[in-house]
Amino acid sequence: MAGALLEVDTIVAGYGPVDAVRGLSLTVNEGEVVTLIGANGAGKTSTVNAISGVLRLRSGAIRFAGERIDTLQAHAIVERGVAQVPEGRRIFPRLSVLENLQLGAYLRKDREIQKDLDWIMELFPILRERRPQLGGTLSGGEQQMLAIGRALMCRPKLLLMDEPSMGIAPLLAAKIYESIRQLSERGLTVLLIEQNAHLALRLANRGYVVETGSVVLEGPAATLLGDPRVRKAYLGED
């Protein structure tokens, strides 16, 4: 497929005896924002963890820029340009904000790390203010910005975001979504996992609806927003 940056091909993966993901397929083209929506436990997080190499596949394949990545270790996948903003943010609690950001650039050896640090602190000015503070002392919304900033520090070609609005005040969530829009305008490709279908579908180009580990509905975001099944199940309308 021309322009496909990420291809997830009928993958099966899970923890213990249960398969959380059962034959899920999706594609993300270069420059797109694609969202994966679904209820809690639908297999969304397992899908991004499989893409990042943190969860091994039982079958299926994942290709990034044409190359099989499902057999690679997590660090090798980051090296190829896939970064993840994990669910629950997972920032390093006893490292400073600055150190958290520097660790995002762990695999980089170029000389533009400082430039990117400045850029991220422009994107999220609160991080500049909180630079010497320990990550664990930030509020939930600030931690989310830090997690996004850390992921951006590796200069990803594809950014996986797992529920960036979870547990965050609506005003801050809107701010974070605005920053995702800005990043997308700069050409970053994004795969966005959300329970908040409304937020996600208004931002994304395309969307997939996931139920019990596989895709039940897919299409342009605008179409999904108008689909009565989506409106009923995920937007809380009758």
Partner 1 sequence: MTNSEVLVQQLIIGLSNGMIIALIALGYTMVYGIVELINFSHGDLFMLGTFLALTVVGALGLGEPLDGQVITWGVIPLLIIVPVFCAAVNWTADRLAYRPLRNAPRLAPLVSAIGVSFVYMNIGLFWGGLPMEVFNMGTAPAAPKDFTALVSYDNLLGDSNITLTAKEVLVFAVTTPLLMALTVMVKYTRLGRAMRAVAQEPTAARLVGIHVDSVIGVAFILGGALAGFASVIYALYNNTIYFQMGFRVGMDAFTAAVLGGIGSLPGAVLGGILIGVIRAFSDQYIATEWTNVVVFAVLILALFFRPSGLLGSTAAEKV
Relative to beta strand 67-68, strand 214-220 is unpaired
CA 177 to chain CA centroid, nearest Å: 12
Smallest gap from Cβ 114 to partner 1, in A, equals: 15
CB environment 140-165: b (16+ within 10 A), e (fewer) = ebbbbbbbbbbbbbbbbbbbbbbbbb
Nearest to partner 1 of 39, 95 (CB atom): 95
DSSP 8-state secondary structure symbol assigned to residue 183: H
Shortest spacing between CB 59 and partner 1, in angstroms: 21
Tell me whether residue 16 or residue 228 sits nearer to partner 1 (CB atom): 16
CB 27 within 8 A of CB 49: no
Q: How far is Cα 51 from Cα 49, in angstroms, rounded to an integer?
A: 5
Nearer to partner 1 (CB atom), residue 104 or residue 207: 104
Rounded least distance, CB 172 to partner 1, Å: 15
With respect to partner 1, which residue has the nearer C-beta, 27 or 52? Answer: 52
**Residues that bind partner 1 in the complex, under the rule CB under 8 A:** 52-54, 73-75, 78-79, 83-84, 86, 88, 90-95, 99, 102-104, 106-107, 136-140, 143, 150-151, 154
CA dist list (Å): 74 to 19, 24, 238 = 20, 20, 42
Work out how close the CB of 200 gets to partner 1 at its nearest, in angstroms, rounded to a whole number: 21
User: Min. distance of Cβ 207 from partner 1 in angstroms?
Assistant: 24
- CB 123, min distance to partner 1, A: 18
When the beta carbons of 54 and 126 are compared against partner 1, the nearer one is 54
Q: What is the dihedral of CA 74, 75, 81, 83, to 10 degrees?
A: 60
What beta strand segments (E) does the chain contain? 4-13, 21-29, 33-38, 57-64, 67-68, 82-85, 158-162, 189-194, 206-211, 214-220
Residue 134 DSSP label: B
- Residue (11 or 146) nearer to partner 1, CB: 146
